[in-house]
Structure 1
Amino acid sequence: MAESAPKRLKTSSSNGTGPLIGTHNGHFHADEALAVHMLRMLPPYRDSPLVRTRDPKVLDTCHTVVDVGGEYDARRIRYDHHQRGFATTFPGRATKLSSAGLVFLHFGRAIVAQRLGGGVDEAAPEVDLLHRKLYEGFVEALDAHDNGIAVYDPEAVAAAGLEKRFGEGGFTLGAVVGRLNPNWNDPKPADPTDAQRAEDDRFMLASQRIGEEFERDLDYYAASWLPARAIVQQAFDKRGEFDPQGRVLVLEGQSVPWKDHLYGFEDGKPSVLYVLYPEKPEPGAKWRIQCVPESKDSFVSRKPLPEAWRGFRDEELDGIAGIPGCVFVHAAGFIGGNKTFDGAKEMAVKALQA
């Protein structure tokens, strides 16, 4: 486990400002933009000034340096990843870290514990869970982007003859930050000091932009995703009450984010095919039956609802399915609805037999 860097921090100035942070000037990227934002989320760095330079003498005056300097030394609070031989990764992951990953490795637990509040210790299991989740779901993408690591092995993709069906709109996290750099032909102030100030202003806008996205994810995982875990665990433990083979999971009371938790509880042994849940947390609410996808981001269901039901609604669907109270089944067969829990359960039973 990486040592918790915030415990070693001391504000080096006496005028109320935080430790001086240094990073490189010139074209900026998402990794150092996020690294700076994450540092400033913590009390010791909240009022920290920032200097953007490649001058070693200036960097030597900085308390903390990210993405420049050719040195990774947590004891000296130096977090660069460009030097020859650097190969540090997040525990259990293969992606080489960027400055964002390095800062998150050493400061992420403090950031998570702070957001959870209530005096939660950095060593608490829920902090470790969210630390890993945020890395895999957000920070790792920046590490890969900055280190030129593709999502899929390019050689394997080429060998399979796969091509993109459409462009992704340039809305990766890296692209969102990249667009905030000045264009090559934008007017540039003649005075070097003014030019650097203008560039720094753009960097701070980029740091705020990527930081807002990071904090949205952090808030979601801390305030919504984590509390849902216990609810999904309870439903997972009770799934045998609704199907002897455990293929139906019922979320009683209300729906919660369930996919990540379900895949984790299954531990690589897929069993659940359908998830039932009420549309609203109130008496008399309609119920949904949703197919479990093969993976979190997949549009392919483990077992879609019967083809004969797809695209039909209400009484017409009642007659086709032989189940009263049907509301709809999506044309793609991944979700449907019924007016009652018993009706949704019967849809699951018949779908399992199909």
Structure 2
Amino acid sequence: MDFDLTEEQRLLKASLERLIGDRYAFEQRKNYARSPEGWSRELWAQFAELGLLGLPFEERGGSAEQCAALIPKIADGSLTFAFAHTERQSRYDLNDIETRAVRDGTGWLIDGEKGVVLHGDTADKLIVTARVGGGRRDRDGIAAFIVDGKAAGVSRRGYPTQDGLRAAEITLANVMVGPEGVLGEPGAALPLVERVVDEAIAALCAEAVGAMAAMHELTVEYLKTRRQFGREIGSFQVLQHRAVDMLIALEQARSMAMFATMMAADENALERRNAVAAAKVQIGRSGKFIGQQAIQLHGGIGMTMEYKVGHYFKRVTMIDTMFGDADHHLRQLARRGAAPAAA
């Protein structure tokens, strides 16, 4: 199988590298993280100009009217969404939903609380899941709604996360949603949620590989330049071996991230879920190992806010916890009889 980038992909990669280098370098990222919103709307608009925000869209789960009204605005950067699904008791179970929606005339009234909604404090719209039937852990009876972030009854408490992003705790109290705000068939949203989460995991795996590669590169460069005992510490064979072990873990993660990317669009839900779960397990293992090695080989400087390594390690640690950590996905694979070998 050919994994080389096409000419179009190489041009896109080069454009992105220039944009990130110019507008999202290390010091700029820290400034964005300290801002009230936690991100740059101007940079988001530049992503839109490059066509990046429109790349993910193959319309699923909504009506033709919803697609026509929302997707162009998402693609041009003028409308932002946040996914409000997780609840306090849910842990990593996507079907564990207590938020309720009851019919009120032709619309719905939503009551409940959502936790750790990434960038939920600044999003224009929220995609909120709620029960329209069944018990708390039933797979059936979950619906998805589009809720205006400033609608009556919506309260949002934003806060910074450890990796420099932002999240919010969201309370919905008798929030009215019209019939045009229902995504898909009421009560049948869980398969769509599961597919979206699988695709999100594949994307997170790719991001984690990039962060791991950066940690490995920074560590190797540090070993080449840091002098101790009258020589570069990278000349010590034991440290060379540790750098190689980091590279092995990185390539294992890269292979599984590629596998997850290939399988993310698979129509076979079980095969897709097993692939992304296995990738998430390897990403968690490799990220922890590479991050710990990078911090230790750098010494105290690796823990400082002024140095990049610690920021990368925080991000891969957060990625491990998103949509299920390595232990969770390993248990799921074991239950389905598809667990990978122990590390």
- The two structures share one fold, judged by TM-score above 0.5: no
Higher-RCO chain (CA-CA 8 Å, sequence separation at least 6): 2
1 or 2, which has the higher helix percentage? 2
TM-score by length of 2: 0.23
The structure that has the greater radius of gyration is 1
1 or 2, which has the higher strand percentage? 2
TM-score by length of 1: 0.23
